[in-house]
């Protein structure tokens, strides 16, 4: 893998993680559990 491919993968992973975590941003762990229960999988 080239450095460019590694950097691209890193940025894509960062963007995906940011998007997946957006609905729970600034919520406490307790609030996340109240809203969605125990999270075990990703949907969508």
In angstroms, what CA-CA distances link 29 with 1, 11, 17, 43? 37, 26, 17, 19
* Predicted pLDDT of residue 33: 92
* Predicted pLDDT of residue 20: 87
pLDDT digits (tens, 9 = 90+) for 11-23: 999 999 999 889 9
Confidence grade of residue 41 (pLDDT, cut at 50, 70, 90): confident
Predicted TM-score of the model (pTM): 0.59
Domain ranges of the chain: 3-36
Rounded to whole angstroms, the Cα distance separating 44 from 11 reads 21
């Amino acid at each position: 893998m080239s450095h460019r491919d590694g950097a691209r993968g890193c940025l894509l992973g960062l963007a995906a993680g940011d998007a997946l975590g957006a609905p729970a941003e600034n919520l406490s762990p307790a609030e996340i559990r109240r809203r969605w229960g125990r999270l075990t999988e990703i949907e969508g």
